Amino acid sequence: MRAIAFFAISLFTLAACQQDKIKVPSQTIAESAPAIVSLNQDWQFQRSEYLQDSIEPSDSKWQIVQLPHTPKVEPLLVNEQWQGIALYRKSMDLSAYSNKQNLFVKFEGAMNVAEVWINDTYLGKHLGGYLPFQFDISNYAGQSNVELKVKLNNLDNWVTGPKPMHLLDFNTYGGLYRDVNLIVEGPVYITDPVYVNEAASGGIFVTTESIDKNEAKIKVRTHIQNSSPTEQPIELVQELWFDGQRVSITSKSLSLDATNAKQHEQEITVNNARLWHPDHPHLYTLKTQIRQQDQILDVDSTRIGIRQFTFNEKHELLINGEVTFLRGVNRHQEYPHLGYATSPNADYRDAVKIKSAGFDYVRLSHYPHSKAFMDAADELGLVLVDAILGWQYYSPFPEFQQQIFQTCRDLLRRDRNHASVLAWECSLNESWMPEDFISELDGIVEAEYPGAFSAGWQPEYDIYLQARQHRMQHYEEPTQPYNVSEYGDWEYYAQNAGLNQDAWGNLKEEERTSRQLLGSGEKRLLQQATNVQEAHNDNLSTPAYSDGYWVMFDYNRGYADDLEASGISSIYRLPKYSYYFFQSQRSPKIVSSQYESGPMVFIASDWKVGSSNKVRVFSNSQKVELYLNGQLVGSNTPTIDSISKHLAHPPFYFSVPEFEAGELVAKAYIDDKLVATHKVVTPSDSSQVKLHIDTAGKPIVENDVVFVHAELLDIQGNPSLENGVEVNFVVSGGAEVVNPGPIVTKRGFASALIKLKRGFTGGSIRAQVTGNPAMTAEIKL
């Protein structure tokens, strides 16, 4: 195991080769300038449940689709996810490109086994649906009628794993569900790290030699390809910018050998560096140029987060020298109906919701997530554990092992430059692995990123990931950094939480679990919150530097015919009570305009007949006053007991003598100053509808997907909380409702997933309670 020290600077590519990022008046862009051209538009598609030996289609008609794309729009409950062969084809006009240019077609994600042709020439095969791959199509430059063909197979695969779908705890979906781009490069260009396939090489790779608040020394490795038949003298220029000001510049004169590729190193000194941290995720912009006389041959613009992750002798995490506990959550990237075929803005919105819920850390379960989510984590301040695909499946055959090894390499090459990544989970989750297999994966992490942390659920990794239910069965004092990778779900679902179950003897089994849907009612949502609180409090009594609740959003499973409902938000991204418990654990001093933050208070009650008279309030304040119909119920400080003594902000409890319909109001105070309020009104029959477009920090754009929620309100405009009311959504303009079946309310909300089509410039959405024209609302998109 390596020494536990990791000095790092990270970056992620904003838009490689976008020329408007670089302002150099004395330079001009070369004629064969680089570019990224989207190929997401106007694909032809058809699917088959049967294996096919070639790209030739069946008798079915081709559909015109846009990417990202899923082969089948699924129902809310995905009992049998579609699996089979998906065929895609697209015509390209490459006549504008010359033989001086290098052309690559790059797939960001294609599920799961991809075979690619151009015209009738077979380009190759890629195994694994979560990471990028590309093919060189330079030979087709100058041609006007080129057809790109793709065959995807998302059937169970023993080489890529994991378990067969009918046994799997999550769905993997299918299709060209991420971007496809044409990469255009000149004769001299910065390479792609995954395509180059060399350890710690390819593209741009940045590490740190030293770091403190006064000065950071950064090493930039740039891998350059000279595809021309002659030696090329160039100047490699690195500029570092912060908040619109250039803070450093360095250049190096080089002579590139003909038809050769090589990595070149440069050092940048940053004075008074603004460090990246979850509370203040400062980002720089690195501008890399390859210049030749008065021309720019290639250009790359990259954001950089300078930060230091280390562990002390107690195995506490230090971020930039400061001891930090990371309160976190696991995330599946699934959206209802569309699976993985979301949009960059949708992934960003998920990150905003996670940060708003009070989390600073996300475990990317159990596979690589999109670049858009990684970018959002860098920007918002979410520390990540980045994972390869794996769940309860191991094969001793060499083909499987080599596939896992290559996946680990490609994961680091794609994501090594993200400021947010703390560790690399090159481990098969909950899967027994032999020591030599683990040793190889651990060695790959070190070879690809010297000094980086590996993580896995067996102790041979640098960081030990252990779920709470496993700790309760076989805990040993850790001798290395320790992360509670999952908690709060299985131990309660399986009824082995180690709590005093006799005290809950009046509860049915299903009422004890953390798996509670949004519409399950106050009692069950409170039970989920109790489970969450007990488990998180327990984790804080261990040497763990972090814990990750299971899970942020409800999701579908291959082996079960119901939603996995332990999420603190519904599958439509609506919060449950537990969401506000976690939000209350964040310091009120953390304030950001990018997500919900600062002082908060939330009454965890529906306040209706049958509601608990012991009212629970979540707040990160010092004191809370509770009022019922204007009369003070009490002024309380947090309640500290056996399941809250380790919490940053324990809940507040108020005893109301008897139920009285009306209005509960909570007022939160810090240093005797009112800082937050929350109101709950006894629900009554609904009489109107209000529409909410859930943009969560990102405006809607073409090819976007966004949730629109129709909320039922009573005559006074208060939430009715009704379940089972059918609402019909109608859209106009360039948009469509994705939900394939009837949409009914859960806790007063009916949720539609809206897809904005290509060329979207505006429209509207109208929601009407079925059979009740008087309950209608309309809003512009």
Phi and psi angles of residue 646, each rounded to the nearest 5 degrees, phi first: -100, -5
**Strand pairing class (5-13; 295-311):** antiparallel
| CATH, residue 344 | 3.20.20.80
Task: Decide if pLDDT at 213 tops 80.
Answer: no
User: Is 296 part of any domain?
Assistant: yes
Q: Is 430 left (phi over 0), alpha (psi -120 to 50) or beta?
A: left
Q: Which are the contacts of 78, defined by CB distance < 8 A and separation ≥ 6?
A: 171, 556
Q: Rounded distance, CA 473 to CA 469, Å?
A: 7
Task: Decide if pLDDT at 501 tops 60.
Answer: no
- In one letter, which amino acid is 768? Q
Domain endpoint, select from 681, 703, 737? 681
316 in Cβ contact with 545 (< 8 Å): yes
Looking at the fold, whether 287 and 179 belong to one and the same domain comes out as: no
The alpha helices in 540-656, defined as continuous H runs, are: 577-584
- Mean per-residue pLDDT for 19-44? 64
- Mean per-residue pLDDT for 666-684? 98
Task: Decide if pLDDT at 483 tops 80.
Answer: yes
Task: Decide if pLDDT at 17 tops 70.
Answer: no
Write the pLDDT tens digit of every residue in 509-529.
788 899 999 999 999 999 999
- Mean per-residue pLDDT for 470-492? 93
User: Is 315 part of any domain?
Assistant: no
384 in Cβ contact with 367 (< 8 Å): no
Task: Decide if pLDDT at 599 tops 60.
Answer: yes
Question: According to the model, what pLDDT value does residue 34 have?
Answer: 78
Question: According to the model, what pLDDT value does residue 209 have?
Answer: 82
Write the pLDDT tens digit of every residue in 646-664.
999 999 999 999 999 999 9
Looking at the fold, whether 628 and 700 belong to one and the same domain comes out as: no
Looking at the fold, whether 523 and 488 belong to one and the same domain comes out as: yes
Q: Which are the contacts of 755, defined by CB distance < 8 A and separation ≥ 6?
A: 338, 704, 705, 735, 736, 738
| CATH, residue 105 | 2.60.120.260
CA 639 → CA 285, 290, 648, 651, 652, distances in Å?
Answer: 46, 62, 12, 6, 6
Looking at the fold, whether 56 and 107 belong to one and the same domain comes out as: yes
Q: 339 forms bridges with which residues in the sheet? A: 335
Looking at the fold, whether 560 and 652 belong to one and the same domain comes out as: no
Among 14-23, 386-395, 611-620, 652-661, name the one with the lowest average pLDDT.
14-23
User: Is 146 part of any domain?
Assistant: yes
Helix (H, G, I), strand (E, B) or coil at 486: coil
Q: 766 forms bridges with which residues in the sheet? A: 730, 778
Four-point Cα dihedral 730, 736, 742, 744, nearest 10: -70
What's the angle, vertex CA 448, arms to CA 433 and CA 262, rounded to 5? Answer: 150
- Mean per-residue pLDDT for 540-551? 98
Domain endpoint, select from 141, 162, 185? 185
Q: Rounded distance, CA 698 to CA 681, Å?
A: 31
Looking at the fold, whether 431 and 486 belong to one and the same domain comes out as: yes
Looking at the fold, whether 179 and 215 belong to one and the same domain comes out as: no
- Mean per-residue pLDDT for 84-107? 96
Helix (H, G, I), strand (E, B) or coil at 176: coil
User: Is 413 part of any domain?
Assistant: yes
Q: Rounded distance, CA 86 to CA 136, Å?
A: 23
Note the pTM of the prediction, 2 decimals.
0.94
* Mean pLDDT of the chain, nearest integer: 92
166 in Cβ contact with 172 (< 8 Å): no
Question: According to the model, what pLDDT value does residue 494 have?
Answer: 75
- Mean per-residue pLDDT for 86-91? 97
755 in Cβ contact with 705 (< 8 Å): yes
52 in Cβ contact with 151 (< 8 Å): yes
User: Is 140 part of any domain?
Assistant: yes
Q: Rounded distance, CA 465 to CA 364, Å?
A: 13
How many CB atoms sit inside 10 A of residue 249's CB?
12
Looking at the fold, whether 127 and 201 belong to one and the same domain comes out as: no
36 in Cβ contact with 16 (< 8 Å): yes
Q: Rounded distance, CA 365 to CA 130, Å?
A: 12
Task: Decide if pLDDT at 252 tops 70.
Answer: yes
Domain endpoint, select from 584, 610, 626? 584
Looking at the fold, whether 480 and 342 belong to one and the same domain comes out as: yes
**Cis bond leading into 162, ω under 30°?**
yes
Q: Which are the contacts of 555, defined by CB distance < 8 A and separation ≥ 6?
A: 170, 171, 332, 334, 563, 564, 567, 571
Report the first-to-last Cα separation within the chain, whole angstroms. Answer: 54
Half-sphere exposure of 402 (CA within 13 A, CB side): 4
- Mean per-residue pLDDT for 719-733? 97
- Residue 141: domain span: 36-185
| pLDDT confidence tier of residue 67, bands split at 50, 70 and 90 | very high
Question: According to the model, what pLDDT value does residue 50 have?
Answer: 66
Looking at the fold, whether 535 and 500 belong to one and the same domain comes out as: yes
Q: How many domains, in total, are found in the chain?
A: 5
User: Is 318 part of any domain?
Assistant: no
Tokens of 199: 């350890």
- Mean per-residue pLDDT for 608-624? 97
Looking at the fold, whether 629 and 481 belong to one and the same domain comes out as: no
| CATH, residue 607 | 2.60.40.10
User: Is 433 part of any domain?
Assistant: yes
Tokens of 721: 């909380």
Spell out where 257-390 has E strands: 260-271, 276-277, 280-281, 284-292, 295-311, 317-319, 322-323, 326-331, 361-364, 383-387
Looking at the fold, whether 364 and 299 belong to one and the same domain comes out as: no
**Considering the chain, what percentage of its residues have pLDDT values greater than 90?**
88
User: Is 31 part of any domain?
Assistant: no
- DSSP letter (8 states) at residue 379: H
Q: Rounded distance, CA 139 to CA 98, Å?
A: 10
